[in-house]
């Protein structure tokens, strides 16, 4: 039978049409919200769902597709991390073996480089876990989630802080050779290293408190689990601390130290005789080239979270991929230092050859050819860092 709505009373017909429009509108809003959640650019394998600042602006956000970013990470990260894991373990273990064989006569610089090798080794040991998460989600439990996050933060700070110590050590040995450097005792170096390790561990406590394993989509992920109302504040604050104390401030110290070093050496025409500086400068330049792009991406992402920079789909997809690529580039640095020591550092290459030639020898028998204190004054002291009582194995 054909039903005609025109035969209904006027008041009932109006009520029926109002209810019909309300149901249609509600269904459209629900579909729109579902479409947003399905197509949003936020990668929930790395993005914290407890940060509701982004979810609350559904009507302001444009539908974006994040599938390309997730597929890129799943194919790119496992390959790069696996390669860095193998090369980093082999290289840093060799560095530690060589340095420990000669530990009785190490210079201050070598002590800092030894700590740097330990930090890099600790980090590469966690890379297989992150590679598995990129491929199939986190399957290692909550405890390892916290520990691997802490190791990443410890390395992030310790790497550049120990390089800053190396720069300051070279600065003292060249620019203030007589006044300060010769008064420095080895125990001071170990105290400085202990302070740096304690500072890095303190900075990683946040990982132990806030990093959790949570179900996202069809896989579990290891990520931050901040309180909903303070999530964005925590993220921005930690990011600014990381950028300031973990990159820009130590970088400023290194730039100042080497500016003073080069000016002093060029002033007395002794730059070519400072062969040991080549290794240190190479290590620091490679560190900056590896980690500067990642920190630049973090800075842009921080500006977005602070709403200094607008958000759009194209930029967010590009930034997500850029963070994955630049972070991988920064992690590659963990296996580059041993390569630099071999190809740039003549002394380290010789010690490595002796290690393989005399496998049964436990101690380093190398004695520096010029351990006598020079009588030529300050300029001679500045011309060669090997005139100190310690012997540098790496540089």
Q: Tell me the angle at which helices 67-101 and 127-136 cross, rounded to the nearest 10 degrees.
A: 170
What pLDDT score does 192 carry?
92
The 10s digit of each residue's pLDDT in 175-194 is 876 445 555 567 888 899 99
What pLDDT score does 281 carry?
83
Q: What CA–CA distance (Å, rounded) separates 194 from 246?
A: 17
Residue 336 DSSP SS3:
coil
Low-confidence ranges of the chain (pLDDT < 70): 1-68, 177-185, 267-276, 359-392, 394-395
Residues 130-163 as b/e (b if ≥16 CB within 10 A, e otherwise) read bbbbbeebbebeeeebbbbbbbbbbbbbbbbbbb
Q: What CA–CA distance (Å, rounded) separates 226 from 236?
A: 12
Please write down the long-range contacts of 174-180, taking CB distance under 8 Å and 24 or more positions apart.
174/261, 174/264, 174/265, 174/274, 174/382, 174/385, 175/260, 175/261, 175/264, 177/378, 177/381, 177/382, 178/378, 178/381
What pLDDT score does 92 carry?
94
Distances 262 to 171, 178, 241, 280, 288 between C-alpha atoms, Å: 10, 18, 30, 13, 18
Domain segments of the chain as ranges: 65-353
Helices and strands (DSSP H and E) totals, the chain: 15, 2
Nearest to 265 by CA among 174, 145, 201: 174
What pLDDT score does 377 carry?
36
Residue 81 DSSP SS3:
helix
Query: CB–CB of 111/193 below 8 Å?
Result: yes
What pLDDT score does 367 carry?
47
Residue 62 DSSP SS3:
coil
Residue 362 DSSP SS3:
coil
Backbone angles phi, psi at 279, to 5 degrees: -65, -45
CATH number assigned to the domain covering 65-353: 1.20.1070.10
What pLDDT score does 266 carry?
74
**Alpha-carbon dihedral of residues 9, 10, 14, 15, nearest 10 degrees?**
-40
């Amino acid at each position: 039978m054909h039903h005609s709505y025109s035969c209904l009373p006027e008041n009932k017909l109006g009520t029926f049409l109002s209810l019909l429009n309300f149901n249609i509108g509600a269904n459209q809003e629900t579909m729109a919200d579902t479409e947003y959640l399905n197509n949003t650019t936020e990668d929930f394998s790395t993005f914290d769902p407890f940060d509701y600042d982004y979810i609350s602006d559904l009507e302001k956000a444009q539908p974006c597709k994040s599938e390309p970013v997730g597929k890129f990470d799943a194919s790119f990260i496992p390959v790069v991390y696996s390669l860095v894991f193998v090369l980093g373990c082999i290289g840093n273990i060799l560095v530690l073996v060589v340095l420990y064989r000669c530990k009785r006569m190490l210079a201050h610089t070598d002590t800092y480089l030894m700590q740097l090798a330990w930090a890099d080794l600790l980090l590469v040991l966690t890379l297989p876990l992150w590679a598995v998460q990129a491929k199939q989600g986190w399957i290692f439990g909550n405890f390892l989630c916290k520990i691997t996050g802490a190791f990443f933060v410890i390395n992030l700070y310790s790497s550049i802080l120990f390089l800053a110590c190396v720069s300051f050590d070279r600065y003292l040995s060249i620019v203030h050779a007589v006044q300060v450097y010769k008064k420095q005792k080895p125990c001071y170096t170990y105290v400085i290293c202990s302070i740096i390790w304690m500072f890095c561990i303190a900075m990683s406590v946040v990982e132990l408190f806030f990093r959790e394993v949570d179900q996202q989509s069809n896989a579990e992920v290891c990520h931050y689990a901040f309180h909903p109302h303070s999530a964005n504040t925590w993220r921005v604050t930690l990011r600014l601390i990381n950028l300031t104390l973990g990159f820009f401030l130590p970088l400023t110290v290194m730039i100042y130290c080497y500016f003073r070093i080069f000016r002093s050496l060029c002033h007395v025409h002794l730059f070519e005789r400072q062969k040991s500086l080549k290794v240190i400068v190479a290590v620091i330049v490679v560190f900056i080239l590896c980690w500067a792009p990642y920190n630049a991406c973090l800075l842009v992402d921080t500006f977005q979270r602070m709403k200094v920079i607008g958000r759009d789909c194209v930029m967010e997809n590009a930034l997500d991929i850029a963070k994955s690529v630049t972070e991988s580039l920064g992690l590659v640095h963990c296996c580059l230092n041993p390569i630099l020591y071999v190809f740039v550092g003549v002394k380290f290459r010789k010690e490595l050859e002796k290690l393989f030639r005399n496998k049964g020898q436990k101690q380093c028998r190398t004695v520096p050819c010029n351990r006598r204190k020079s009588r030529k004054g300050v300029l001679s002291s500045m011309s060669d860092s090997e005139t100190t009582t310690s012997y540098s194995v790496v540089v």
